[in-house]
Amino acid sequence: MSKTTSRRYDVVSAARNYTNGHTNGSAKKPTMDEIFGSHTFSMDEMRKRLPKEVFQSLVATIQQGKPIDAGVADIVALAMKEWAVENGATHFTHWFQPLTGSTAEKHDSFITPNSGGGAMSRFSGKELIQGEPDASSFPSGGIRATFEARGYTAWDPSSPAFIMKNPMGATLCIPTAFASWTGEALDHKIPLLRSMEAVNKQALRALKLFDVHATQVYSTVGAEQEYFLIDEEFAYNRPDLLTTGRTLFGAQPARGQELEDHYFGSIPDRVLAYMTDVEEQLYKLGVPVKTRHNEVAPAQYEIAPIFENTNIAADHQQLTMQVLQTTARKYGLYCILHEKPFAGVNGSGKHTNWSLSTNTGINLLEPGDTPHDNMQFLFFCAAVIKAVDKHQDLLRLSIATPANDHRLGANEAPPAIISIFMGEQLEKIFMQLVKGKAKKSEFKGLLGLGSPVLPPLPLHTGDRNRTSPFAFTGNKFEFRAVGSSQSISFPLVVLNTIAAESIDELTTDVEKLMKQKKSLEEALQEVLKDVVSKHKRIIFGGDGYSDDWKTEAKKRGLYIKNTALEALEAFHTKKNPALFAKYAVLNEREWFAREEIMFDIYFKTINIEGEATASIAQRMVLPAAIRYVKDLASTVESVKAVGVKSSGIMKTLKEASELVDSLTVALDKLVAINADLGGDTLHSKAKHMRDKVIPAMNNVRVYADKLEKLVPDDFWSLPTYQEMLFVK
């Protein structure tokens, strides 16, 4: 046996023989009440620790966005520090979300030198409110030249500070926004907050029509996170997974997900222990996670929270991704968030459920029992329909990443064409509106379960359609095309802003008609009829995976862009920068900065994948194949020496040797093409990656995967799909 042999088998056996050292399943666990939010500087904690006036002033800041004054900040800082230190924190960090899509932190200790040459523990209001990380290495999309590299972080009091524990200590994390010294947003939080304000303003205007007295409307979000878990031994032996987040090689195993026996199946013990641990940590951080289950692909799982205010939900979503990844190590697992880690089995998404709610607790997308006469519901629903139809390009753009390209439009994920699934009942109601007045709602029958023991369930008329990228599911819309590894913030910025515009326009239309002495009902009738007739092409209840839909969508004139790069062209339309500027969400510089960053990320991602493909092919695949050729060649010699005819051996030798030839040709081509970066502009480089490097990479993989099926198992050093997906 050669050395590689023992190496891969060692890996498999390490994975198989993993024993979980973390067992406290039988120990008495703290109750949910005791742990939920225990690592956050929550409202309760603030109320307990702050003087009454300070607390009230802070609440006014949190709930109504009133500016905080320096005196208050000092007192809050002191209380926050005391709380953090009592909980073991020695350091604090301004926690922010740069445009890389992940989170960033720079830790400072609470220690400050004192005049006597010693040190004391201190944390001031100034340090709480503002930080100045040396931020020159975060992407700014040209907003900030390196000579003016200063970036500021600013405390977001509306998202609770929290403590992150590590095995040796703890850090106080303060959610912050991140901006350039000129005040331009360098992060995902600032535009998200601005977009929430835009939709708040317009929705409040609209609610006046309906005589609803709320003082605030905010968007709500619950994001369902899909992910893969494999034994970490495999990951450490797959340089492709480690460097790119996905496998760049791997022949299809005899069994993939055909049997569909993983979906909702019982969860393996080790995974369950891991999930329990993840949930406990998230509870402590105040993240209300609620469901967990197996997903469709082998080794794929999902975690979903209860929905929250969008700003907090977005912070909590980042924490969820972080905790999922860091906790995996404790259980000898590796958590993969990539949209398509394994070819041939389903990829991962992040269904982003979205709605609008008043501060008095009314969900504006709740149809009630008779939606046809719930004009308020129909108004907001129609506003979303208009927004999605008018700005298909923006929604498509907000999810345009190289990783999501592997998923969208494959027969498992929403198609790359944006459309809305409304459900039969609502679709009928809207079509009635076009013809005149909405007359009746389909009767909601009872769904009998065929057994007298089981209670009849009310039949949800908004039934399920898993193939729609944007579906109405009962009392919220579910944007399903969002990728599993991306920050949900940008898609939500888009969603909030287009909703704000649409609500604005519908409200103005209704107001105009009412000025012409029409009743509210007449005005609404007329406006809704107009909106639905103009935008009904976006509503589609059929099978989004079918080819018929592609033809139909083209006929309807819908926006069809199959790849991320095509979708990113929508940054340059006239309407898009104008829209974000009008609602004060992103100014032109901020908007085009995001374009530059998305192109840059696209280019770099593929460029790195190309290099990883070349390196693995060269150092791991080719040597195994050549070794096999050598083995076969000497076998031919020996067999010939004893006078036996060996057509089978010759045939195999020929096949292996031809594949080696093809692989080397493909590899040389990839290396040359990837080294030629494709010009001077980001756009041309990105195009070069898509049009030249991706096909060259795929070509290398074709021969490598063929070799995997030919070369003896004990020569192969890369863990196989079968091992990664099925050894648990």
CB closer to ligand ADP out of 152 and 307? 307
Residue 350 binding Mg ion, by CB under 5 A: no
How far, in whole angstroms, is CA 329 from its chain's centroid? 21
CB of 674 to Mg ion, least distance (A): 38
Burial class (CB in 10 A: 0-12, 13-18, 19+), 28: exposed
Name the minimum Å distance from CB 222 to Mg ion: 9
Residue 503 CA to residue 176 CA, distance in Å, equals 29
How far apart, in Å, are the Cα atoms of 167 and each of 88, 164, 572, 577?
11, 10, 48, 46
Q: Which does 341 bind (CB under 5 to 8 A by kind): ligand ADP, Mg ion, none?
A: none
| Least distance between ligand ADP and beta carbon 420 (Å) | 16
CA distance 155 to 244: 33
Stretch that binds Mg ion, among 227-235, 332-340, 351-359, 525-533 (CB under 5 A): 351-359
300 with 346: CB under 8 angstroms?
yes
CB of 176 to ligand ADP, least distance (A): 25
**Which range touches Mg ion (CB under 5 A), out of 253-261, 283-291, 349-357, 540-548?**
349-357
Which residues contact residue 247 at a Cβ distance below 8 angstroms, ignoring those fewer than 6 apart? 238, 240, 241, 341, 342, 343, 721, 724
Calpha distance 553→572 (Å, rounded): 23
Q: Output b/e per residue, 527-546; b: 16+ Cβ within 10 A.
A: bbbbbbeebbebbbbeebbe
Choose the one of Mg ion, ligand ADP, none that binds residue 87, judging by a C-beta under 5 to 8 angstroms depending on kind: none
Q: Amino acid identity, residue 598?
A: M
Greatest CA separation found in the chain? 106
Which of the choices Mg ion, ligand ADP, none does residue 222 contact, using the CB cut-off of 5 to 8 A by kind? ligand ADP
Partner interacting with residue 719 (select from Mg ion, ligand ADP, none; CB below 5-8 Å by kind) = none
Query: What is the closest distance, in whole angstroms, from the C-beta atom of residue 366 to ligand ADP in the complex?
Result: 8
- Cβ closest to Mg ion, residue 475 vs residue 646: 475
Number of Cβ within 10 Å of residue 111's Cβ equals 14
> Could you tell me the two tokens for 701?
């993989």
Q: How far apart are CA 609 and CA 692, in angstroms?
A: 13
79 interface partner picked from ligand ADP, Mg ion, none, CB below 5 to 8 A per type: none
Assess contact for 711 and 242: CB atoms under 8 A. no
In the numeric block, the tokens 């079509």 are attached to 431
**Which spans of this chain sit near ligand ADP (rule: CB under 6 A)?**
220-222, 224, 304-307, 353-355, 363, 473, 475-476
Q: Which is nearer to Mg ion, 270 or 351 (CB)?
A: 351
CB closer to ligand ADP, 87 vs 363: 363
Instruction: Using the minimum distance from each CB to Mg ion, give the nearer residue, 133 or 222.
Output: 222
Q: At what angle do helices 694-710 and 647-675 cross, to 10 degrees?
A: 160
Q: Which is nearer to ligand ADP, 301 or 307 (CB)?
A: 307
Look at residue 603 and give the partner it binds from ligand ADP, Mg ion, none, a contact being a CB closer than 5 to 8 Å depending on partner kind: none
355 contacts which partner out of Mg ion, ligand ADP, none, CB within 5 to 8 A by kind? ligand ADP
Q: Which does 305 bind (CB under 5 to 8 A by kind): ligand ADP, Mg ion, none?
A: ligand ADP
Counting every residue written for the chain, the total comes to 728
Where do we find the tokens 């041309």? 684
> Which residues, in sequence order, are CB contacts of 471 under 8 Å at separation 6+?
420, 421, 464, 465, 477, 478, 480
Least separation in angstroms between residue 478's CB and Mg ion is 6
Least distance to ligand ADP from the beta carbon of 164, Å?
23
Considering beta carbons, is residue 77 or 193 the nearer one to ligand ADP? 193
Name the residue with the smallest CB distance to ligand ADP.
Answer: 222
The residue among 306 and 672 lying less far from ligand ADP, judged by its C-beta, is 306
Query: Can you tell me whether residue 230 is helix, strand or coil?
Result: strand
Min CB(63)–Mg ion separation in Å: 30
Pick the closest to residue 405 from 563, 525, 561 (CA basis): 563
Indicate the residue among 12 and 481 with the shorter CB distance to Mg ion: 481
Q: Taken in order 397, 400, 404, 406, is the CA torsion positive or negative?
A: positive
Q: Pick from ligand ADP, Mg ion, none: which does 412 bind, CB < 5 to 8 A by kind?
A: none
In the complex with Mg ion, which residue's Cβ is closer, 98 or 483? 483
Q: Which residue lies nearer to ligand ADP by CB, 355 or 674?
A: 355
Nearest-approach distance from CB 500 to ligand ADP, in angstroms = 17
Q: Which does 354 bind (CB under 5 to 8 A by kind): Mg ion, ligand ADP, none?
A: ligand ADP
- Positions 161 through 180 that interact with Mg ion (CB under 5 A): none
**Least CB distance to ligand ADP at residue 288 (A):** 8
Choose the one of Mg ion, ligand ADP, none that binds residue 475, judging by a C-beta under 5 to 8 angstroms depending on kind.
Answer: ligand ADP
**Binding Mg ion by CB under 5 A: which of 81, 284, 351, 428?**
351
Q: For residues 246 and 581, what is the distance between their CA atoms, to the nearest angstrom?
A: 37
The stretches of 87-145 forming alpha helices (DSSP H) are 125-129
CA-CA distance, 153 to 130, in Å (whole number)? Answer: 6
Q: Select 230 or 356, whichever has its Cβ closest to ligand ADP.
A: 356
Q: Of 191, 194, 198, 311, which is closest to residue 591 (Cα–Cα)?
A: 191
User: Per the structure block, which two tokens stand in for 381?
Assistant: 């629903």
**Which is closer to ligand ADP, CB of 363 or CB of 635?**
363
DSSP state for residue 690 in the 8-state scheme:
I
User: Nearest approach, Cβ of 27 to Mg ion (angstroms)?
Assistant: 34
Residues 6+ apart with CB under 8 A from 90: 109, 110, 169, 170, 171
Name the residue type at position 419.
S
Cβ of residue 354: shortest distance to ligand ADP, in angstroms? 6
Q: From ligand ADP, Mg ion, none, which one binds at residue 720 (CB under 5 to 8 Å depending on kind)?
A: none
Smallest distance from the beta carbon of 384 to ligand ADP, in angstroms?
Answer: 13
Minimum distance, C-beta of residue 351 to Mg ion, in the bound complex (Å)? 4
- Nearer to ligand ADP by C-beta: 9 or 264? 264
Region of 347-355, 531-539, 608-616, 622-630 interacting with Mg ion (CB under 5 A) = 347-355
State in angstroms the smallest separation of the CB of 358 from ligand ADP: 12
Comparison of 351 and 692: residue with beta carbon closer to Mg ion: 351
Which helix (DSSP H) or strand (DSSP E) does residue 358 occupy?
strand 350-358
From Mg ion, ligand ADP, none, interface partner of 304 (C-beta below 5 to 8 A by class): ligand ADP
Task: Kindly identify the residues of this chain, within the stretch 209-238, that bind Mg ion according to CB under 5 A.
Answer: none
d(CA 96, CA 103): 6
Q: Write down the least CB distance from residue 477 to ligand ADP, Å.
A: 9
d(CA 309, CA 482): 18
The CA distances from residue 121 to 85, 92, 124, 256, 617, in Å, are: 10, 12, 10, 57, 54
Q: Which does 476 bind (CB under 5 to 8 A by kind): Mg ion, ligand ADP, none?
A: ligand ADP
User: By C-alpha distance, which of 286, 270, 351 is closest to 319?
Assistant: 286
Binding-site size, Mg ion (CB under 5 A):
1
Helix (H, G, I), strand (E, B) or coil at 666: helix
Choosing among Mg ion, ligand ADP, none, which partner's interface includes residue 363 (Cβ < 5 to 8 Å by kind)? ligand ADP
In the complex with Mg ion, the residue whose CB is nearer, 351 or 688, is 351
Considering beta carbons, is residue 337 or 531 the nearer one to Mg ion? 337
The number of beta carbons lying within 10 Å of the beta carbon of residue 251 is 19
CA atoms lying within 13 Å on the CB side of residue 646: 18
Question: H or E element: which one contains 108?
Answer: strand 107-109
Residues of this chain that interact with Mg ion (CB under 5 A) are 351
